[in-house]
Chains A and B, each alone.
Chain A
Amino acid sequence: MVDETELIHAAQHGDRDAFDELVRRTYVDLFTLAVRLTGNEEDARDVVQDAYLRAWKGIGKFRGDAQLSTWLYRITANCASTHLSRRRRTRTEPLLPGLEPADVRHESQPEAMAETNLDLAVIARAVDELPPKLRAVVVLRDVYGLPHEAIAEELGISLSAAKVRLHRARKRLRDAVFEEKRSSRAV
């Protein structure tokens, strides 16, 4: 398997096959992020396609001081933000019935799950039910680990607005996740 750095270098010199290979390696990851940001598969496909087109045009500017995945996450976040503001959706649609987790890698990390001791399906549903603006910030920060500054830049909002949204999103998630847990225990 060719090293990612070599593929990036080749793509930066116009090698389309190398870039296609990078797309194949990162597609599921970016698609998952796009679904989490947009709330549905159809929009996610458009967003991911747009993100890769932008990445191909801008691959020459990728300096390698961040990971490729982080760079792609930022582009995807920006595309999703543009896409959603264009669509002006007020309510998110739930994940399509066919969209089940494809690869639940935490199953192979029992210690992580035991430590967390929270039902991931409950968390995923709570995230999905957040308003898009709050969801975008919490997904980018708490799921994908982007810095506050990067989130603010890609979503076109101020740093303080990004922090306020994160704060509100966490509060709502806390209520949704722990209240649901309490009520399911009572049944």
Chain B
Amino acid sequence: MRYEDVADLLPGLVDGTVEVDDRTRAFIDSDLRCQAELARYRRLLRGLGTLRTTYLEPAPGGLAQTLNALAAEGERRVARGILSGRRAVVAGAALGGAAVAGAATAALIAARSRRRLLAG
């Protein structure tokens, strides 16, 4: 086994993303070039981890813009709620009206049929 055979595995091996068989592992553990390369990757990962606490300064107004967008979204939500509430009231009234009209018509028909029966 040579360094070139395992070089491609090293970026993943450094944090266990890649797993290797025992024979490959034994070679990597004993090969100085592999060890040096793994040390580079470890340093790279530590450096990347440190980048996590290196914050970038947002341009002025970015936070305010986001808070305004959230406020606008909140208002839209309230407006949608009111509109859907009104729609529900209108729909309820229409349904109620239809039900009353239906009941009245049914009562009228029933009364007429009763009168016809009595007359007959």
Contacts and interface: CB of A to CB of B under 8 A. Distances in A.
B18 to A, nearest CB: 8
Q: What band does the interface of chain A fall in when counting residues whose beta carbon is under 8 Å from B? A: 35 or more
B66 interface: yes
B54 interface: yes
Interface stretch (A60-68, A76-84, A85-93, A96-104): A96-104
Nearest to A55: B70
Interface in B59-83: 59, 62-63, 65-67, 69-71, 73-74
A19 B51 contact: no
A163 B46 CA distance: 19
B51 A124 contact: yes
Contacts of A148: 17
6 contacts: A16-B71, A16-B74, A32-B56, A100-B56, A112-B46, A145-B52
Given A45-B65, A145-B52, 4 more contacts: A28-B56, A53-B70, A118-B46, A170-B41
Interface of A: 16, 19-20, 23-24, 27-29, 31-32, 35, 41, 45, 48-49, 52-53, 56-57, 95, 98-106, 109, 112-113, 115-118, 120, 123-124, 127, 138, 142-145, 148, 163, 166-167, 170-171, 173-174, 177-178
